[in-house]
Amino acid sequence: MNENKNRGERERPTFSVEDELRRNRRMRLSSGIRKARRVRQAAVTAAICIFVVLFLTAALALTVFRVQTVTVKGNQRYSAEQLTAAVALRPTDCIFLLDEKTILSRILKSCPYVASVSLEKQYPAAISVTVEETRSVYTTEMFGERILMDAGFRVIGHGVPDGDEIEVRLPEIHSAVEGEVIRFTDAKHSEYVFSVLPEILNAELPITFADLQNRFSLSVRVGDTAQILLGDTAQIPLKLEVAKKVLEAAAAEGSARTKIDASDPGRVSASYDWSAPFDD
């Protein structure tokens, strides 16, 4: 009997250290898997909650804070109805998201004489838009069509000028799109045209015409009473100032039409009672 007992004890399985380590690893692995599943489930739940909150917030914004009323101020050329229509309210226009840049870009599509806008938000669903309108300052011809531009050389219309613009003869034009600055086929022309024209505009002379086709041979006219040759683009303000004094002296002498060469402001010459047509 003792012999059987001893044999049973010898046949009983024994557990080594390696077995214990493997068992612990299996337990840790199982625990890690369960923990990872819980983390994934929590992340999915959080993502769903965030999505629901965002969806409800957007729905609330589009319902409560959707812009429904537009008030326009500062307009003269365009009616309030025209500008309100140009704002073109959309179902997705939330008062929090609308800004002046967006409003201006919409208005310019049909109302190019608008130069800038300021936006006042009246919560929860109304906005007040104050517009600043511009006027045509320059006019030129492109393919037989009259183009009107404001002081920033932005095309604001096509057709008959208002009458107070400076007519300009320009280098070859690439494009003249309403609401955009005029573009030349050669970008280098922009450098001198956009710098010379403001100097001509600010001159103390009632200039009505400017020929800027050739930057080495510029000229301007004062109605049909005077033509001023300016030469190149250097010292334009000085040349115009000197020409103004010469023109005043010519008028004092009774010259009805005067041609002035101010291309060298240090050596200005003038021809009184000029009877021939001015150079085109």
pLDDT at 74: 95
User: Taking Cα atoms as reference points, which of 169, 118, 158, 160 lies closest to residue 280?
Assistant: 169
pLDDT at 9: 53
| For residue 4, pLDDT beyond 80 | no
Looking from the CA of 139 toward its CB, the CA atoms found within 13 Å total 19
Long-range contacts of 250-257 (CB under 8 A, 24+ apart): 250/226, 256/225, 257/224, 257/225, 257/226
Question: Coil, strand or helix: which one is 260?
Answer: strand
Integer Cα distance of 41 and 17 in angstroms: 36
User: Which residue, chain included where needed, has tokens 């010379």?
Assistant: 196
The string of pLDDT tens digits covering residues 209-248 is 999 999 999 999 999 999 999 999 999 999 999 999 999 9
User: Taking Cα atoms as reference points, which of 230, 240, 162 lies closest to residue 201?
Assistant: 240
Among the ranges given (9-13, 134-138, 188-192), the one the predictor scored with the smallest mean pLDDT: 9-13
User: 279 exposed, middle or buried (CB, 10 Å; 0-12, 13-18, 19+)?
Assistant: exposed
pLDDT at 91: 85
> The pTM is what?
0.72
Residues 6+ apart with CB under 8 A from 251: 258
Kindly tell me the number of DSSP H helices and DSSP E strands found in the chain. Answer: 6, 14
| For residue 1, pLDDT beyond 70 | no
The string of pLDDT tens digits covering residues 142-186 is 988 999 999 999 999 888 887 889 999 999 999 999 889 999 999
